[in-house]
Amino acid sequence: MRYFEVKERTDIGYVMRLTTIEPTTINHRGTGWLRSYVNPSAQESIVDYLMQNQRPMVSDNLRKILDYYEQEINDTRVYTIYKGAYEKGDHENTPDYYFIEPRSIDAVHEDSVRDHLGNLESLILDQSKLEYARIFCVKGLKENRWFITLEIAEMLFRNHITGFTVEEIETR
């Protein structure tokens, strides 16, 4: 099985970002709904995957695909509200977004290289611990990194999901 890390693309020019994110209601899990005001300009692309406040955020389209493969993903909905000179009619395709938190798996292989402070320099995943895992985070990583299998990467490319790129991760 091949695994890929999902990353945000930086080579696609101007991308619409959410400016302020405010909590509205909090549910029993403490996650709640959020709202954000957007004012996309004509030059900005609306993409399906963003890193917002250093957390992965996905559009409704992307979330549906991820949901199909893995139901144990915690997500927090962010409603986007139009504010500014542009009317909604011009930007009716702007999606609501979701902060996602895939489940964490302790899958760092012992051959992974660490520096003297214990930070990972090169990550190698342990194949034996990833059986049946398709979308996941890895325990012990400081950064907010998440991974998918080849099957899902193909699905994302087929469905023209934008704003992301993938990098293959070695497994043993």
- Note the residues at the interface with another protein (CB under 8 A): 4, 11-13, 16, 40, 42, 44-47, 91, 93, 132, 150-151, 153-155, 157-158, 160, 162-163, 165-168
Q: What is the dihedral of CA 147, 153, 155, 159, to 10 degrees?
A: 100
Least distance to another protein, CB of residue 147, Å: 14
Both structure tokens of 27: 């549910």
Beta carbon of residue 126, minimum distance to another protein (angstroms, whole number): 17
CA distance 41 to 14: 9
**Given the complex with another protein, which of 45 and 74 has the nearer CB atom?**
45
CB atoms within 10 A of CB 2: 12
DSSP secondary structure letters along 126-139: -GGG-TT--EEEET
Supply the minimum distance, in Å, between the C-beta of residue 132 and another protein.
Answer: 7
Question: Closer to another protein at the Cβ: 29 or 160?
Answer: 160
Residue 145, SS3 per DSSP: coil
Q: How far is the CB of 29 from another protein (least distance, A)?
A: 31
Strands 21-25 and 3-8, bridge-based pairing? unpaired
Closest to another protein by CB, 54 vs 93, is 93
Nearer to another protein, 76 or 135 (CB): 135
- Pick the closer one to another protein by CB: 48 or 63: 48
The 10 Å CB-count burial string (b at 16+, else e) for 148-163 is: bbeebbebbeeeebbb
CB of 151 to another protein, least distance (A): 5
User: What single-letter DSSP state applies at residue 36?
Assistant: E
